Amino acid sequence: MTIRTAQTSPLILARVAGFLYLLTVPLGVFNFLYIPSNLIVSGDAAATTHNIMASESLFRLGIVSALLGAIIAILYVLEQIPF
């Protein structure tokens, strides 16, 4: 007796991977370019603290974008594991 398992099409896996990569680009640009340029003042910790306190929502959005980037990276790996 043989056991049949359903396998996901390589085309679908490629499309999912492409979509995940497309999500990564704007998150990376936002997290590594936009957030530091607006919040961090080089050599002045007090000004950096003031910027973070003044735009707390931008700081929190930066944390969320970093977490989403990490979750997407985990999804890259999980996509490659055959089930």
Domain ranges of the chain: 10-80
| pLDDT tens string 11-63 | 888 888 888 889 899 999 999 999 999 999 999 999 999 999 999 999 999 99
CA–CA distance, 13 with 68 (Å, rounded to integer): 20
Cα 76 versus chain centre, distance: 11
Residue 35: per-residue pLDDT: 94
The pLDDT assigned to 7 comes to 77
Among candidate residues 46, 50, 72, the one with its CA nearest the CA of residue 59: 50
